[in-house]
């Protein structure tokens, strides 16, 4: 079956620190992979995506590379800001895009 396992939080970092949030997956076929973000008081928003192996998704300074050999899609940012404080969800879709599977979320707090 399809599932996503992501790093447990909460994570607390100082401003300008390097961020990694680990995500690994189990899937049949050829899933697409995603990171969603939920800022305090707001709905889920797509942060970045990768639709095939070795693709790198990027947005707002965040990056993640689809690694089929390690079944991973780790989220990274070189220098976090206070405004990056949010809950981050790793997700995968079925081949058809008809079903999506989310991880449990990782809460990030960035302190000045």
Partner 1 sequence: DTGVSQDPRHKITKRGQNVTFRCDPISEHNRLYWYRQTLGQGPEFLTYFQNEAQLEKSRLLSDRFSAERPKGSFSTLEIQRTEQGDSAMYLCASSSGGGTARYEQYFGPGTRLTVT
Binding site for partner 1 (CB under 8 A): 4, 32, 34, 43-46, 49, 51, 89, 91, 93, 97-105
Q: Give me the residues paired with residue 91 across strands.
A: 34, 102
Contacts of 84 (CB under 8 A, 6+ apart): 19, 77, 108, 110
Cα 42–48–44 angle (5° rounding)? Answer: 20
Q: Minimum distance between the CB of residue 36 and partner 1, rounded to whole angstroms?
A: 8
Closest distance of CB 91 from partner 1, Å: 7
Of the pair 79, 95, the CB lying nearest partner 1 is at 95
For residue 84, the SS3 value is: helix
Q: How many residues does the chain have?
A: 112
Query: CA torsion sign, 59 to 61 to 65 to 71?
Result: negative
DSSP conformation class of 101:
E
- Least distance to partner 1, CB of residue 105, Å: 5
Minimum CB separation from partner 1 for residue 23, in Å? Answer: 11
């Amino acid at each position: 079956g399809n599932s996503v396992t992501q790093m447990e939080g909460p994570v607390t970092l100082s401003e300008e620190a390097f961020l990694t949030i680990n995500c690994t997956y189990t899937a049949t076929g050829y899933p697409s992979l995603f990171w969603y973000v939920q800022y305090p008081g707001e709905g889920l928003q797509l942060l970045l995506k990768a639709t095939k192996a070795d693709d790198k998704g990027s947005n707002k300074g965040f990056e993640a590379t689809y690694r089929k050999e390690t079944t991973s899609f780790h989220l990274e940012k070189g220098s976090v800001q206070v405004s990056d404080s949010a809950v981050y969800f790793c997700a995968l879709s079925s081949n058809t895009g008809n079903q999506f599977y989310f991880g449990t979320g990782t809460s990030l707090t960035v302190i000045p």
